[in-house]
Structure 1
Amino acid sequence: MRLATFFRQGTLSALLALFAFLPAFGADLDEIRHIGKIRHIGIRYANFVTGAGDGFDVDLMKGFARYIGVDYELVYSDFYSVIRDTLGKDIVNTPDGLALQGNFPVRGDVISAGFTHLPWREKFLLFSEPTFPSQVLLVAPANSRLSPIQPSGNLASDIAATKALIGTHSLLVMEKTCLDPSGYGIVGNVVDLRKLTSSTNLNEMVPAMLDGTADIALLDVPDVIRDLDQWSGQIKILGPISEPQVLATAFPKDAENLRDAFNNYLRQIKQDGTYDALVDKYYPGVRSFFSDFF
C-alpha cells in the first residue's frame, strides 16, 4: 500500500514537472470565453503601447475584450520575441526558408502593437483587417546637409530618389521589424548599414541617430509623428522608402473565430465613431499623411 502510494505520488510529481515546461497554447474564441480572459501581447512602441497602461492598441484591445465578454491582460514583449510569445516557437532561417522551431511558453493570445502586415509574417499568423496605415520613411538630423526630395507626384520615382540620398551615408536600421532593410531593396547597396542592437524598441531609433550612431535612419510614419513632437526641430523627413503599408492585429493560424470576431468589432467601432476618437487621441495629424485610408 505504501509503495503504491509512493508510486502514485512520484508519478504525479513527474507529471507536474513535465507540464511546468509545456507551453500554455493560445486559444480560439470559445476557449478564451471559457477561460474568461484574453492576453494581449503588446510592444512598447510609438503611441500604440505606451508602457503606461494605455495606447491606441491597448484601448483597442480593451474594447475588444469587453465586446467578447472577457477580462483583459496586457503582456509586454518586443519585436524579436513577440511571435515566439504568441506561437511558442521561434522563426528561424533554414535552407528551405523561414520556419518555426523550438518549444517555448505561449504568453499571450493576440498581437496588437502597431504590427505591420508583412508578407513573411503572413506565413505564420492570421491578420485582421487593417487597424492603421503606415509607411517607411528616411529621416535625418535637422542639421544634416541632406535635403528632402522634391515630390514628383509618382511614388515609385520618389522612393528611388530617396534611396539615392543614402549613398555612402551610414544608415540606422532594425532587423525583424518594419525597419528591416531587407524588405526595401537596400541590402547590398548601402556601404555603411548599421543595425540598432542596443535596444529592441523602435522608439530608440531617433535618439540613437541623434547620438551619432548613424547619419540617417529608417523610421515609419507612426513613430515619425511621435518623434517630430518629442524631438521638435531636431529631425527632418527626407522622403519615402516604401509603398504605403498597413498595420493589423495578428492571431495564431488556428484562431480564425477570434480573428473574425475582432474584424466584426473593428467594423462596429469604425461605424460608431470609437475608432476615429482613438486615432485623434493618439495620432493627431496622421490624417494628413494618409487621407485615403481615413
Structure 2
Amino acid sequence: MKKAVPMLVVLAALLLLGCAQQTEQKEEQTQIKLVEPGYLTVGSDIAYPPFEFTDEKTGEYTGFDIDLMKEIAKRMGLEAKFVNTAWDGIIPGLLSHKYDVICSAMTITEERAKQVDFSDPYFEARQVIITRADVTEINDVDDLNGKVVAVQQGTTGDFAAQRLKDEKGIQLEIKRFEGTPEALMAVQKGDADAAIIDNFVAYIAAKENPGIYRVVESDEFAPEYYGIAVNKDNPALLEKINEVLKEIKEDGTYDEIYNKWFGE
C-alpha cells in the first residue's frame, strides 16, 4: 500500500500534465496570431488596379482589396497595415510571417492551397484576352496560334497561357513579366500581340485608354475565385476573417465597396 501511494501521485501528475498540454493546444488553436499587435498586416502586390494600386495624387494605397481589408481590420478592432510585395515573393513572405494575410486578387487554386489556407471566396473573375484596338484577327484563343502573349509571371493568366500550349496545342510564345502593367505595356508597344489577364483589370485598362486596347472574352476560360490567404498555423485568424467577411456581405457593406470600384 505504501508503494501504491507514490504511484498514484505520479499518475495524477501525468494526467494533469496531459490536461495542461491539451489546454495549451486548444488555446493555441483559438488564439489569433498577429505579426504586430493592434494591426492586421496585409501582403499585397500593389500594382494591380483597380484591386490594389498607388493613388498618384496622394501617394496612398487604394483599390477594392485595400478598402475590403480596411473594413475587415476595423471590424476586428485592428488597423490595416499594407506591405507592398512583388508577386513572386508574396506567398514566401506569408510563410516567413512578414505579414498576417495576403489580399492581392489571388485566385484560390489547389496548388496554392497546399501552402496556405484560403478564406471563403470574396470575388469572382475570369481570364480574358486583351489586344491592341487595331488588332482585329484575334477573336478567340485559337487565334493566338503563332502569336506572342504577355502574362504576369506566376498568375492564373500565366497558367492559362501555358495550358493553351500544353492541352490545346496552340503554338503561342509566352512572354512573362513581373507585373500586369508591364504586360499591358508590351501589348501597347507591339512587343506582344496580346495579353491574358483578369477580366476586370482588362476592362478598366480599356476604359481608361480609349482606342488603345480591345478585350476578347472566351468560353475557354473558366470562372475563378479570389480568396484571402492565411498561414496554416493561424486557424483562429482564418475563422475570424470568414466571420467578418460574411457580416460585410450580409449588411450591404461589400456591395458598397464593390459599386465604388466596379459600378452597379
- TM-score, with normalisation over the residues of structure 1? 0.71
Q: Deviations over 1:198-241 (max 9, x none)?
A: xx221332222111111111111121122121222221122224
**Shift in alpha-carbon separation, 1:196–1:34, aligned structure 2, 3 A:** closer
Residue 142 (structure 1) aligns with:
133
Residue 267 (structure 1) aligns with:
246
SS where residue 99 of structure 2 aligns?
coil
**Shift in alpha-carbon separation, 1:29–1:276, aligned structure 2, 3 A:** farther
- TM-score, with normalisation over the residues of structure 2? 0.79
Q: Deviations over 1:147-182 (max 9, x none)?
A: 53xxxxxxxxxxxxx221111121112321121136
SS where residue 180 of structure 1 aligns?
helix
Residue 62 (structure 1) aligns with:
70
SS where residue 129 of structure 1 aligns?
coil
Q: 1:117 touches 1:245 (CA, 8 Å); kept in 2?
A: yes
Q: 1:170 touches 1:191 (CA, 8 Å); kept in 2?
A: no
Query: Residue 245 of structure 1: CA displacement?
Result: 0.6
**Amino acid in structure 2 at the alignment position of 1:123:** K
SS where residue 114 of structure 1 aligns?
coil
Please identify the structure whose Cα radius of gyration is greater: 2
Residue 257 (structure 1) aligns with:
236
SS where residue 133 of structure 1 aligns?
strand
Residue 259 (structure 2) aligns with:
280
Report matched runs for 1:193-204 at 5 Å. Answer: 193-197=173-177, 200-204=178-182
Alpha-carbon distance in structure 2 between the residues aligned to 1:243 and 1:217: 17
Give structure 2 stretches of 5+ with no counterpart.
1-28, 55-59
Residue 246 (structure 1) aligns with:
225
**Amino acid in structure 1 at the alignment position of 2:72:** F
Deviates more, 1:31-40 or 1:208-217: 31-40
SS where residue 93 of structure 2 aligns?
helix
Query: Residue 190 of structure 1: CA displacement?
Result: 4.2
Q: 1:225 touches 1:283 (CA, 8 Å); kept in 2?
A: no
Equivalent of residue 112 in structure 1, options 100, 103, 120: 103
Q: Deviations over 1:251-293 (max 9, x none)?
A: 11111111111111111111111100111111226xxxxxxxx
Query: Residue 70 of structure 1: CA displacement?
Result: 2.0
Residue 213 (structure 1) aligns with:
191
RMSD: 2.2
SS where residue 80 of structure 1 aligns?
helix
Residue 156 (structure 1) aligns with:
none
**Shift in alpha-carbon separation, 1:183–1:257, aligned structure 2, 3 A:** farther
Report matched runs for 1:82-97 at 5 Å. Answer: 82-88=90-96
Query: Residue 119 of structure 1: CA displacement?
Result: 1.8
**Amino acid in structure 2 at the alignment position of 1:209:** V
4+ long deviations beyond 4 Å: none
Give the helix-richer structure, 1 or 2. 2
Percent of matched pairs sharing the same residue = 23
Residue 226 (structure 1) aligns with:
204
Residue 48 (structure 1) aligns with:
51
Q: 1:48 touches 1:57 (CA, 8 Å); kept in 2?
A: yes
Query: Residue 185 of structure 1: CA displacement?
Result: 2.0
**Amino acid in structure 1 at the alignment position of 2:186:** A
Query: Residue 29 of structure 1: CA displacement?
Result: 5.1
SS where residue 62 of structure 2 aligns?
coil
Alpha-carbon distance in structure 1 between the residues aligned to 2:73 and 2:32: 13
**Amino acid in structure 2 at the alignment position of 1:246:** Y
Q: Deviations over 1:3-28 (max 9, x none)?
A: xxxxxxxxxxxxxxxxxxxxxxxx98
**Amino acid in structure 2 at the alignment position of 1:167:** N
Residue 72 (structure 1) aligns with:
80
